[in-house]
Amino acid sequence: MPEWDKILSNPEKFKKWKEAAVFLDKNIKCFLEFDPEKGIKLSGTGAPADRPETEPADKPLSGIPFAVKDNIAVKSFKLTCGSKILSNFVSPYTATAVTKLQNNGAVVIGKTNLDEFGMGSSTENSAFSPTHNPWDVKRVPGGSSGGSAAAVAAGLVPFALGSDTGGSIRQPASFCGVYGLKPTYGSVSRFGLVAYASSLEVIGIISKTVSMLKNVFNVMKGEDPLDHSSLPAEEKTPAGKTAKIGLPKELKSIELYPSVRKTLDSTIRNYKQMGYAISEISLPTLEYVVSAYYVIATAEASANLARFDGIRYGERDFSAENPEELMLSSRNRGFGKEVKLRILLGTYVLRSGFQEQYYLRAQKIRTAIRKDLQKAFESVDAVLLPVYPRPAFKPGSKEMDPFSQKLADIFTSTANLAGIPAVSFPAAVEEGLPVGMQLLAPPFAEKLLFSMCRDYEKVFPSPNPPDNYFNRSI
Ligand code: GLN
């Protein structure tokens, strides 16, 4: 394992790391912008050559490099959201979560690829290039934070930031064999996150180890006057006992890919062996989760994306003859297919006279799933679920067309609708691909998730893909 806090301060190590990153990124294409020197300047710590290697690590993340999903603002880095409409947009400010990390010594080294505006599960919907899975470049890394997950799995950074609206941190973490945390809604400030579906999303972390996940979360969390939906994030973990795990009985009748079913069974066995009690629970509303998620997410997206009008931001059609034409043609040229589909769907479900039929029903399901989970947490401390019904798939594969990808969000979007924390952890490698499992906990019980993942990490640490920075001599 590289000594991450030395990479940026030792000129020789820095050069080797940078060369390896540029080389590995040619195959996986995880970065939309890679500029560690700019990040070092921004952090105010000086160029690598100016900094003594012995500089005391007085801050929790001193000298640690990290990457940021390109829908999270970092001053003077681009902020494209993977979209043509923002292809030349440079951020004039920095997200609170990033500022907190920088204030604690961490250094932004680049921006990572994503499905346009976070809409997708494979990073194929980026307007610039698809990202490839470091375990098998012929497969997708998952999405929408696919660039961040691929960068961590390839060993280019010890952690990266992502956003999770319906699974965009946990699913790519699972496809790439790393950890992914979707924190409690409101526990991390969303100031500086370009909004897709504001009531569902949160900035979170993808990392190689549980201790990094925990340290980064502890730095990022907390109330922010710049985000009125942020909360003080007080720890609510029951202390000092082995947690009880709940297993939804509905899982028996949901089709899972054989390697995912096998990993679910082995995860249960492993936790039992560690002394955890596993009991059956019921989430009767699970089958309605995907429909509710896509109604709410697209409704919010149609409103949030209205600001990209060709006037205030980004791409503009200079040949337009009046404001209406300017807006229409800029949006038509700037947005990709999936984004247009979702704006149309969102507009459809919100159209006057029909809110009752779609949006309000979806909100009722949202309340019902939250109640199901609240009830479950009366008898268990955490709920175990797969992350995704199958491991990393091949781009353009028929059985995983865009509609099937949406149906497969069943296990992840549940936590977003309920606002609760959830973590994806590497649980096995099957048929040469990593398979992640997921733990969900009551609001603000992140500490419990870390300790349960830490127990699993002792028997099964995050596996390394065949070619990665860890096997390269540095
Ligand atoms: N697959 C989900 C979607 O396409 C993930 C979104 C997200 O978490 N940003 O909406």
Q: 138: buried, middle or exposed (CB in 10 Å: 19+, 13-18, 0-12)? A: exposed
Report which DSSP code applies to 260.
H
- Is the distance from CB of 118 to CB of 71 less than 8 angstroms? yes
The residue among 52, 15, 21, 38 whose CA lies nearest residue 102 is 38
Q: Quick check: CB of 167 below 6 Å from ligand 1?
A: yes
> Would residue 406 show up in a list of annotated catalytic residues for this protein?
no
Cβ-based neighbours of 122, under 8 Å, separated by 6 or more: 115, 130, 140, 141, 142, 143, 146, 393, 395, 400, 405
Atom of ligand 1 nearest to the CA of 120: 4
pLDDT digits (tens, 9 = 90+) for 67-83: 999 999 999 999 999 99
Atom of ligand 1 nearest to the CA of 342: 10
The residue among 303, 30, 314, 15 whose CA lies nearest residue 150 is 30
Pairing state between β 244-248 and 382-386 = parallel
Atom of ligand 1 nearest to the CA of 169: 8
**Phi, then psi, of 46 in degrees rounded to 5:** 85, 165
Rounded distance from Cα 106 to ligand 1 centre (Å): 27
Atom of ligand 1 nearest to the CA of 294: 10
Rounded distance from Cα 378 to ligand 1 centre (Å): 29
Rounded distance from Cα 414 to ligand 1 centre (Å): 12
pLDDT digits (tens, 9 = 90+) for 301-340: 999 999 999 888 777 888 899 999 999 999 999 999 999 9
Q: 330: buried, middle or exposed (CB in 10 Å: 19+, 13-18, 0-12)? A: buried
Rounded distance from Cα 334 to ligand 1 centre (Å): 20
Q: Is the pLDDT of residue 120 over 90?
A: yes
Q: Is the pLDDT of residue 1 over 90?
A: no
Dihedral sign for Cα atoms in the order 87, 92, 96, 101: positive
Of 473 and 426, more confident = 426
Q: How confident is the model at residue 245 (pLDDT cuts 50, 70, 90)?
A: very high
Dihedral sign for Cα atoms in the order 251, 379, 369, 268: negative
Q: Quick check: CB of 416 below 6 Å from ligand 1?
A: no
Give the integer Cα–Cα distance in Å for 299 and 348. 8
Say which CATH number the domain at 66 has: 3.90.1300.10
Which of 122, 125, 148, 165 has most ligand 1 atoms within 8 Å of CB, for mutation?
Answer: 165
Residue 379 tokens read as: 């008898």
Q: Which stretch of 8-12, 56-60, 73-77, 127-131 has the lowest confidence by average pLDDT?
A: 56-60
Q: Quick check: CB of 165 below 6 Å from ligand 1?
A: yes
Q: Which of 38, 69, 100, 214 is catalytic?
A: 69
Q: Quick check: CB of 298 below 6 Å from ligand 1?
A: no
Dihedral sign for Cα atoms in the order 338, 344, 345, 346: positive
Q: Which stretch of 33-47, 276-290, 381-395, 454-468 has the lowest confidence by average pLDDT?
A: 33-47
In a 13 Å sphere around the CA of 60, the CA atoms on its Cβ side amount to 15
| Element holding 296 (H helix, E strand) | helix 289-304
Provide the pLDDT for residue 2.
Answer: 80
Number of domains in the chain: 1
**Phi, then psi, of 333 in degrees rounded to 5:** -80, -30
Residue 51 tokens read as: 């900094």
Angle (CA) 372 373 378, round 5°: 100
Q: Quick check: CB of 166 below 6 Å from ligand 1?
A: yes
Report which DSSP code applies to 169.
T
Angle (CA) 244 384 122, round 5°: 160
Domain encompassing residue 393: 1-474
Give the integer Cα–Cα distance in Å for 12 and 48. 9
pLDDT digits (tens, 9 = 90+) for 256-295: 999 999 999 999 999 999 999 999 999 999 999 999 999 9
Give the integer Cα–Cα distance in Å for 224 and 153. 31
Q: Is the pLDDT of residue 237 over 80?
A: no
Dihedral sign for Cα atoms in the order 95, 101, 104, 108: negative
Give the integer Cα–Cα distance in Å for 224 and 191. 8
| Element holding 170 (H helix, E strand) | helix 170-176
> Is the pTM value of this prediction over 0.85?
yes
Q: How confident is the model at residue 210 (pLDDT cuts 50, 70, 90)?
A: very high
Q: Quick check: CB of 415 below 6 Å from ligand 1?
A: no
Q: What is the DSSP string of 174-241?
A: HHHTSEEEEPPTTSB--TTBPPSSTTT-EEEEEESSHHHHHHHHHHHBS-BTTBTT-------PPPSS
